Amino acid sequence: MKLKKVVALLIVILAISACTTNPFTGKKTLALVPNSQLLPMAFQQYDAFLSENKVVTGTSDARMIKNVGQKISVAAERYLTANGYAGYLSEYQWDYNLVDDPAVNAWCMPGGKIVFYTGILPITQNEAGVAAVMGHEVAHALANHGQQRMSAGQLQALGAVAGNVALSKDPKNQQIFNQAYGIGSNVAVMLPFSRGHETEADRIGLTLMAIAGYDPIVGAELWQRMKANAGGGAPPEFLSTHPSSDTRINNIKQWAPEARAEARKFGVTSFRK
């Protein structure tokens, strides 16, 4: 009798706390809102964001963002398929856009919806620098860090909302969502990722950029430039959620060779700087 109750309780708990496995670390992570609910919300938020902001089209910078984005997404698909996670990105609808905004920012929503702000381009400097930021942001999305950034309560509320009302019509839910995914430019309400998530995204990001044919050491150079930029005037959005420490830069230097070694397994022999 007692055992039956315990078993029943366990089943309920398991049903509530749906877990997914992070394909890069093998760790179980909490995913209270399944992709089938989360991704439509993300797609809706992404479209709303694009309609409210000035999307840059037809410039070499805009083409560079799309080009690097395609390479990073192909790298992610190849890596996941090779590691037994074919179909992990089947619900993704990749999109890469540049918006005309001086904010130093970039993000990737779940489902592969990426935005770069023109304000980050002086720091990324070139294609490889863009790949370093893109790899890092895509890694956050692939590892579902945004979901874990929100509290379970918030996630459940959002999940319930998504089932009924359009998310964008409720400013409060929209704000929770945007905070969790680093969207917007109000530094005061931005939630930083945990140090653990940052480290994870750095490491996964290096592998992705290397498979895409970019030298992962550029990651260290990029974060050095970020650090230098943080010394200046206005608080840059990206840096408020991505503190650039010496530890981070040293880690990346240390991990660059293993990222190149991983990429060689995919036939990548030269790495663009």
Longest CA span, the chain: 69
Q: Which stretch binds Zn ion (CB under 5 A): 69-77, 83-91, 94-102, 198-206?
A: 198-206
Residue 140 CB, nearest distance to Zn ion (Å)? 5
Q: In this chain, which residue has its C-beta nearest to Zn ion? A: 201
Residue 145 CB, nearest distance to Zn ion (Å)? 8
Of 96 and 181, the one with the shorter C-beta distance to Zn ion is: 181
Residue 201 binds Zn ion (CB under 5 A): yes
Q: Answer yes or no: are the C-beta atoms of 200 and 25 closer than 8 Å.
A: yes
Q: Which stretch binds Zn ion (CB under 5 A): 19-27, 40-48, 161-169, 185-193?
A: 185-193
> What distance in Å separates the CA atoms of residue 138 and residue 194, rounded to the nearest whole number?
16
Specify which residues 114 forms β-bridges with: 96, 108
Cα angle, residue 79 at apex, residues 74 and 83 outer, rounded to 5°: 150
Question: How many C-beta neighbours within 10 Å does residue 162 have?
Answer: 20
Q: Which stretch binds Zn ion (CB under 5 A): 114-122, 163-171, 190-198, 212-220?
A: 190-198
Q: Which stretch binds Zn ion (CB under 5 A): 4-12, 151-159, 203-211, 235-243?
A: 235-243
> Cα separations (Å) of 6 from 14, 16, 93?
12, 15, 41
> Cα separations (Å) of 160 from 61, 164, 174?
39, 7, 13
Is residue 237 flagged as an active site residue?
no
Binding-residue pattern over the window 237 to 256 for Zn ion, x denoting contact by CB under 5 A: -----x--------------
Catalytic residue among 77, 91, 127, 137: 137
Residue 106 binds Zn ion (CB under 5 A): no
Residue 201 CB, nearest distance to Zn ion (Å)? 5
Of 98 and 201, the one with the shorter C-beta distance to Zn ion is: 201
Contacts of 208 (CB under 8 A, 6+ apart): 72, 75, 76, 79, 135, 138, 139
Q: Supply the Cα-derived Rg of the chain in whole angstroms.
A: 19
Residue 187 CB, nearest distance to Zn ion (Å)? 15
Residues annotated as catalytic (active site), given as ranges: 137
- Point out which residues bind Zn ion (CB under 5 A): 193, 198, 201, 242
